[in-house]
Amino acid sequence: MRNRSLLLRSGLTVAAATALPLPLAAGSAAVSGISVSTSGSTVSVTTSACTQINGSWGTASLLNSSQANFAQGRQAALSGTNTQQSAAWSSVSPGTYTVIVMCSNNNTAGTQSVIVSAATTPTISATASPSRGVMGGMGGGTTDYGTLTLVTGGALVGTGIAATVWYLRRRSRPSRL
């Protein structure tokens, strides 16, 4: 009894899992057949849904927020091949737009919204360079000391060297006992 119940539940789960992707696959057919992209102030659209009739693939229209139908937008003719058709609009102002593609057989290939943002240009500014070179070194490396300070420092270094030589020579002599 227990095994039959478990088998029944497993069968229902498998049936539900099998049936679940069917509505999702049917819903994916309703996805727009166009792809819209922006680059700066240029908007472009591509599709593969149109067929050529009398030398024309169709027309694409770019509508701003105050335009309601296909005829009111900026229209551009589709061009391309059997596998891909495209159209583009340049000098598009920043804002939200709707792109509609109408094939030459009067079927709509798709509709998609796009946001065109303002182009940003990087600002380059120069900084002042140090007047006396790079200010590195041990604290005060760019401070100019007088001649007396330099002579005193040189005398101390010389005295240190002389004392080191004297100590090492004295140490190397044999001791007298």
Nearest to 91 by CA among 112, 76, 113, 80: 76
Q: What is the pLDDT of residue 58?
A: 93
Global pTM reads: 0.51
pLDDT: is 59 or 144 the higher one? 59
Higher-confidence position of 88 and 121: 88
pLDDT per residue over 42-63, tens digit each? Answer: 999 999 989 899 989 999 999 9
Parallel, antiparallel, or unpaired for β 85-89 and 42-47? antiparallel
Mean of pLDDT values over 57-83: 91
